[in-house]
Amino acid sequence: MSGYGSPPPQGSYPPAQYGAPPPQQQYPPPGYGAPPTAPPPASQPSKMKAMLPAIIIVVGVVLAGVALASNWYQESGSYSYTYGTFSVSGSFTYVVNLFGTACGTVTTSTASTTACSSNSTGATNTHSVFTVTLIFVVLGLVLGVVAFVFGLLGAFSRRAPSKLMGMLPMLFALLAAVLMLLAPVYMMVALPGAIQADQKAAMSSSSGSTTIGGACPNSGPNTTFFGGCSTSQGSVSWGGSLGWYLAFGAFVLFLVGAVLFIRTRKSAETATAQPQWGQPAAGPQDPAVFHPDVSGGAYGGGAPPSTQPAAYPAQGYAQPAPAYPAAAPSYPAQPQGTRCPSCGYVTPAGYNVCGNCRARLY
Confidence check: pLDDT of 256 > 60: yes
Residue 299's pLDDT is 42
Residue 210's pLDDT is 40
DSSP string, 56-113: HHHHHHHHHHHHHHSEEEEEEEEEEEEETTEEEEEEEEEEEETTS-EEEEEEESS-EE
Residue 67's pLDDT is 96
- Who has greater pLDDT, 39 or 361? 361
Q: How far apart are CA 244 and CA 136, in angstroms?
A: 12
Provide the 3-class DSSP secondary structure of residue 165: helix
Q: Count CA atoms closer than 13 A to 241's CA, side-chain side.
A: 19
* Band of residue 2 on the pLDDT scale cut at 50, 70, 90: very low
Torsion of CA 182, 187, 192, 194, to 10 degrees: 100
Please tell me the least confidently modeled range out of 18-22, 93-97, 253-257. 18-22
Kindly give the residue spans of alpha helices, DSSP state H, lying in the chain.
Answer: 47-69, 124-156, 163-202, 242-273
Render pLDDT for 71-92 as a digit per residue (tens, 0 to 9). 999 999 888 877 777 777 888 8
DSSP state of 350: T
Angle at 32 between CA 30 and CA 38, to 5 degrees: 70
Quote the mean pLDDT of the chain. Answer: 74
Angle, helices 47-69/124-156, rounded to nearest 10 degrees: 160
Residue 41's pLDDT is 45
Confidence check: pLDDT of 24 > 70: no
Whether the CB-CB separation of 123 and 138 falls below 8 Å is answered with no
Residue 96's pLDDT is 93
Provide the 3-class DSSP secondary structure of residue 330: coil
Q: How far apart are CA 296 and CA 316, in angstroms?
A: 32
The ranges assigned to domains in the chain are: 47-203+213-273, 293-301+335-362
What integer is the mean pLDDT of 299-308?
Answer: 49
Residue 297's pLDDT is 43
What integer is the mean pLDDT of 239-259?
Answer: 95
Confidence check: pLDDT of 184 > 70: yes
Q: How far apart are CA 64 and CA 74, in angstroms?
A: 19
Residue 40's pLDDT is 47
Q: Give whichever of 175-179, 261-265, 273-277 has the largest mean pLDDT.
A: 175-179
21 backbone dihedrals φ, ψ, rounded to 5°: -65, 150
- Who has greater pLDDT, 211 or 250? 250
Q: What pTM, to 2 d.p., does this model score?
A: 0.59
Residue 188's pLDDT is 96
What integer is the mean pLDDT of 177-183?
Answer: 97
CATH 1.20.140.150 fits 47-203+213-273, yes or no: yes
Angle at 259 between CA 255 and CA 262, to 5 degrees: 140
Q: How far apart are CA 47 and CA 35, in angstroms?
A: 29
